[in-house]
Amino acid sequence: MVGIDSLRVTARQALGGVLDGARTVALVNFPNHGNPGDPAIWLGSRRLLDELRVRIGYSCAWWDFDPAALRAAVGDAPVLLNGGGNFGYLYAGQQATRVRVLSTLAGNPVVQLPQSIHLADAASEAAMAELLASHPRFTMMVREHRSAAIARDRLGVEPVLSPDHALGLGPLARTRTPKTPILWLTRVAGDPEHVDHEPEPADDVRRVEWLHAVAVRTYPPLAWRWVRRGVDLLSSAQVAVTDKLHGHLLAQIGGAK
């Protein structure tokens, strides 16, 4: 079995080869949600870039991508799209941002970090192939052979095969002592990638979807992080001027003027 450290090295080498000496990049499509796999991919990419001594000059989530702000920050530097399993039309927000990047940044090399490809139908496949062909400097990285075949045979691009960038994090320590005999982590009905695995598991198996299992406990720390960011920002000045209702309210409860 190939070890984690070896896979990390392979991922770093593949990324370095794609960047071809670039020292600054933009990193687009930050995943601010409760599926820990996608944030792990984002953090792994950041660590690999740091090891390659590549600076991230612009970052954004899928909902706040701004092509003008990106160009102002990094010029014609490469634009990296976060990896994962959302290349295609299963997840509309990430795909829409990908389309905007490819449509508005013809002057920048665009690199899709290691992805799995899911195309809904022949029409969406044809539209995606046309968009990729129209961009003068697009590189497709994939994390498994099925997607490599789709990229090559149906989208008309020669892919770069790479381990998933979550492996860029390296080994992580256990955080708890095991209490459950078997944990079955599975998607639930309604998820775009759900597969029915009936019958129900045995009594010693705990079946969970980690989005549901952690979401409620995740909300308070995430909310406090955003609130503290706002208070920090307002606290950085002696006087705050704003046309935002909650800019005014946070300034009041945070002690600003």
pLDDT score of 149 more than 60: yes
Ranges 56-65, 105-114, 238-247, most confident: 105-114
Residue 207 and residue 88 in one domain: no
- Tell the residue number behind the tokens 């992805």, with chain if given: 115
Write the pLDDT tens digit of every residue in 67-88: 999 999 999 999 999 999 889 8
Report the mean per-residue pLDDT for the chain.
Answer: 85
Residue 48 and residue 154 in one domain: yes
Residue 70 and residue 10 in one domain: yes
Where does a domain end: 144, 169, 194? 169
How many domains does the chain divide into? 2
Residue 198 and residue 112 in one domain: no
Question: Helix 67-74 crosses helix 92-104 at what angle (to 10 degrees)?
Answer: 60
In this structure, are residues 240 and 257 in contact, taking their beta carbons and an 8 Å threshold? yes
- What is the C-alpha separation between 134 and 90, in angstroms, rounded? 23
**Terminal-residue alpha carbon distance, the chain:** 61
Measure the CA dihedral 61/67/70/72, to 10°: -150
Q: Which domain holds residue 189?
A: 182-253
The CATH number linked to 165 is 3.40.50
Residue 120 and residue 197 in one domain: no
Write the pLDDT tens digit of every residue in 174-233: 777 878 787 766 666 555 555 666 656 666 677 666 555 555 555 567 667 777 877 888
Residue 68 and residue 114 in one domain: yes
pLDDT score, position 218: 59
The radius of gyration of the chain from alpha carbons, rounded to an integer in Å, stands at: 21
Residue 247 and residue 219 in one domain: yes
Residue 229 and residue 152 in one domain: no
